[in-house]
Chain A
Amino acid sequence: MNIFPPNARFDFFGKRYFAYALSVILLLVAAGSLATKGLNLGLDFTGGVVVELGYPGGADIEAVRDTLEAQGFDNAVAQLFGSSESVLIRLPPSGEGQSRLADQVLMALQSESDDVTMRRVEYVGPAVGDELFNAGGLALLVVLAGILVYVGFRFQVRLAGGAILALAHDLIVVLGVVSLVGLRFDLTVLAAFLALAGYSINDTIVVFDRIRENFQKMRKGSEQDVMNASVNQTMSRTVITSGTTFFTALALFVFGGEALYGFSLTLLLGIAIGTFSSIYVASAISLDMGLKRRDLLKIDDRERLKEAEDSAP
């Protein structure tokens, strides 16, 4: 059984300009959304208070809102969360020392009806929010730098450049979609982004590995032919692995509940984009950056090739 025909000779790189156009459109849309709409930053990064309450037998959300208003919590936003038995209340950040606000909200609502239960309270001070945001950004930069160094060392600088651009492409496009649909960007979504960085690069490396091998093995054909052959040969693996990873992310999306909603949605998006980019963006950019056969040959092979080129008129 084969998902992708084993002896296919599909001309991926001949059509790369269509892919470039698609990428540019995606990037422009993403950048546009990020610039105008921005990210819907969650409590982890902005600071503030979130209280999740359980109402066995269903909550009257209007009554909850009235109670909150009557008690002076003007800025509180109450909404149903996941089911009709669960209510989420958000209070925006307002200076230091809000830690008791959650208790007051809890007491106000529990005095209205007895069977309200506390499911979750989160409070993040504004200073801590800033620190978490900076640490997250730093983590992303370290990941990118680490991968650049490793791929540059193990493969070749042009491939490393292609890999990093592909990675940046994936992260920006997914970030753009997150911004576009207004998904709340919290710590778990950030974790999903870092996992995506690892996944996307993993996919790219497998294709690169085959490109390197084929440059050493196939002495005929242009650079573009060799790269086409490499992508064709690794295509079934790319589809299958993306598929199994997609299945598991889907399982998390279906069963993971509200807590993993943003995380799994980001992964689903990222897997789709990452698969596309490791075929087109990473390899195609390396090719257009001037990747030559001799860049990937072993040292003695490289010298032999150079001699051959020199002696040719």
Chain B
Amino acid sequence: MNRYPLWKNLIVVVVVLVGLFYALPNFFGEEPALQISKRDGGMEQTALTEAKSALRAAGIEYKQAEMQDDDALIRFKSADDQLQSVDVVRAALGGDYPVALNLAPAAPGWLTDLGALPMYLGLDLRGGVHFLMQVDMQAAVKTALQRRVDGMRADLRAAELRYVSAEVSDQQEIRVRFRDAAARDQAIEQLPADYEDLEFDAAEIEGEPYLVAQMTDEGVETERRAALDQNITTLRNRVNELGVAEPLIQQQGDSRIVVELPGIQDTVRAKEILGATATLEFRLVHGSPADWVDAAESGSIPPQARLYQRRDGGPVLLKRQVIVTGDRVTGASSGFDQDSGSPAVFVNLDSQGARRMADITGDNIGQQMGVVFIENRLDTKVVDGELIEEKKLVEEVINVATIRDQLANRFQITGLDSSQEARNLSLLLRAGALRAPMDIVEERTVGPSLGAENIQAGVNAAILGFVLVAIFMMIYYRVFGVIAVTALVVNLILIIAVLSMLQATLTLPGIAGIVLTVGMAVDANVLIFERIREELRNGMTPHAAIKSGYERAFATILDANITTLLAALALFAFGTGPVKGFAVTLSIGILASVFTAVMLSRALANLVYGRKARIKALAI
């Protein structure tokens, strides 16, 4: 007699049922949908109602429209309807509501309400962009030093300590040159209190007295972390502006950021927006047009001014002191100037920026103000027959205008080349500036058609592999073969269920891992069945052979699977992206196969043979 105690049978039944439940959502597929959110969060029902009536007016049918936690979802019958509706909804709701194309699980609501969601498909299966971005930490530290130099100049002036120049050198240190050593020594005594993250030193460079300040290690560390954090926040804002459903933005290592944008089509624009560093500065104009040309020709620039190029040609001198920078911008939208009809950006400033703007423009009515457009641009050049890219900081004056009135928190900027540039600039001003420039060091983009082909290829391979193994097992082991194939089916269901529960990412190598598991998972049953055959040949009764086969093969199964699991875990620890997906499915497959091949198949064998007191022969 071979019988499992009730609790063992119950465990088997419960595990199979739970597995079925969590695997179920994957069989409903996905349907095209629009995801509508609100820029500052808090999507309202009224906006959804407005979108629905716009769709009805345009004659586009939708399946269902519902509010979710932070956004609203409209489902469609076909991808064509979905594509048509984007523009309709965007036009109806305006720029404050980003609209993104999405695929929503088609599983019935009661399943998703209970937390049963389909597997999360990786970018190689659903299409999309993966970027790995390297934050330029050298530049981050340099900008931080630059900010401190600006403060130091003001402090030295306030303390009436005369200095000749104050700059950030290429060696990542601040160098202030003084006329005499006495003034320098006094500065070294007074400055450090306000600059805790700097180390001050006296130095003689080419016989001149200098003050040299370097950033402490903690200071550098703080600056790096701040640069990384702010860049992640800015990227998140920019991705929201682009309207991407389910983006992933995450730190990797201590100076890199991973950005994954599923389903995005226009990768060129995505790259342009993510890597863009454009921002604005407002400065007062120095001198007259004649002075500008003089300065440009003679190269002698007044100490309180800087020389710039105008976008429409010709030089211009602007004061060193900045009125307001782009980080004071709280809102920006693009449109057209009412008088000239040229593209314009309408800017809102925060209260501090607005106060400064009001103070300075109020004191300078009749004077001119320049708007500086700052951007890190990549130029492609051919050097020795190879294409290389160079980073270049471009600072252009896009607009010089006379201050007719005191400006406050809201005004407009013109002088942009195209309405596309106006749109991009307003987006970048809204999303905030990057604290340090970034380079894309790895990119993997998969078009939607290839993604769908990859899924099809994976599914076909899985079916063929399963059918081959199933036919072989049923012919070779007869009744026990059927048991093994049943265990294999449950094994697959459990893998899918666990992947869905963990919301782990399924990739193409991940599917390959599942297919491979099909081949390797029967190994445990083969070990058991061969053992049973052997015991039968040695003259054991069928019941004793089943019992001994399962029990004695168990140690072997455990040893064999633990070593394979070791390999899978190492893959997970050191692998990246798709390879990690392979390791995950392989590990889950190994664990699930031990359960199905040992416990479940034993329960089935007991069910078939265990009840009878005597069996003449086993179909094995």
Contacts and interface: CB of A to CB of B under 8 A. Distances in A.
Contact of B464 (A117, A125, A234, A254): A254
Contacts of A287: none
Main secondary structure of the interface of B (DSSP, over half): helix
B447 A1 contact: no
Contacts of A154: 559
B39 interface: no
A150 B447 contact: no
B560 interface: yes
B442 A255 contact: no
A248 B518 contact: yes
B472 A244 contact: yes
A117 B441 CA distance: 24
Nearest to A146: B566
B387 interface: yes
A187 B267 contact: no
B567 A73 contact: no
B299 interface: no
A6 B563 contact: no
A27 to B, nearest CB: 22
A235 to B, nearest CB: 9
B618 to A, nearest CB: 14
A23 interface: no
A187 B507 CA distance: 13
A99 B382 contact: no
B261 interface: no
Contacts of A259: 124, 454, 457, 508
Contacts of A188: 509, 512, 578-579, 582
A72 interface: yes
Contacts of A248: 465, 468-469, 515-516, 518-520
A260 B457 contact: yes
B380 interface: yes
A124 B564 contact: no
A194 B570 contact: yes
Interface in B339-387: 378, 380, 382, 385-387
A237 B526 contact: yes
B561 A97 contact: no
B578 A260 contact: no
Contacts of A99: 271, 389, 439-441, 443
Contacts of A118: 267, 445, 447
B523 A241 contact: yes
B586 A195 contact: yes
Interface in A131-145: 132, 135-136, 138-139, 142-143
B209 interface: no
B512 A252 contact: yes
B578 A256 contact: no
A240 B527 CA distance: 10
A94 interface: yes
B28 interface: no
A263 interface: yes
Interface in B445-464: 445-447, 449-450, 453-454, 457-458, 460-462, 464
B568 interface: yes
A191 B571 contact: yes
A109 to B, nearest CB: 14
B205 interface: no
B391 interface: yes
B520 A241 contact: yes
B388 A246 contact: no
Given A54-B449, A247-B472, A252 B555 contact: no
A192 B387 CA distance: 35
Interface string A62-77: 0000000000111100
Nearest to B563: A201
A257 interface: yes
Given A103-B271, A139-B573, A251-B461, A96 B443 contact: no
B380 A95 contact: no
A101 interface: yes
Contacts of B447: 54, 117-120
A139 B523 contact: no
Nearest to A258: B457
A53 B135 CA distance: 30
Nearest to B378: A100
A248 B389 CA distance: 46
B533 interface: yes
Contacts of A52: 450
Contacts of A98: 387, 389
A124 B449 CA distance: 22
Given A52-B450, A97-B391, A260-B508, A209 B559 contact: yes
A222 interface: no
B574 A135 contact: yes
A125 to B, nearest CB: 4
A294 B2 CA distance: 36
B537 interface: yes
Interface string B533-575: 1100100000000000000000110011111111110110111
Contacts of A257: 453-454, 457
13 contacts: A72-B382, A74-B385, A99-B443, A117-B447, A122-B445, A142-B570, A147-B567, A191-B575, A198-B586, A241-B520, A251-B462, A263-B509, A267-B516
Interface of A: 1, 3, 6-7, 52, 54, 72-75, 94-104, 106-107, 117-125, 127-128, 132, 135-136, 138-139, 142-143, 146-147, 150-151, 154, 187-188, 190-191, 194-195, 197-199, 201-202, 205-206, 209-210, 233-234, 236-237, 240-241, 243-252, 254-257, 259-260, 263-264, 267
Interface of B: 124, 132, 134, 267-268, 271, 378, 380, 382, 385-391, 439-447, 449-450, 453-454, 457-458, 460-462, 464-465, 468-469, 472-473, 475-476, 508-509, 512-513, 515-516, 518-520, 522-523, 526-527, 530, 533-534, 537, 555-556, 559-568, 570-571, 573-579, 582-583, 586
Among all A-B residue pairs, the 5 with the closest Cβ atoms: A198-B567, A248-B519, A139-B574, A251-B465, A248-B465
Given A100-B389, A244-B468, 13 more contacts: A54-B449, A122-B443, A143-B567, A146-B566, A147-B563, A195-B582, A205-B559, A206-B527, A241-B526, A245-B519, A247-B519, A248-B516, A251-B461
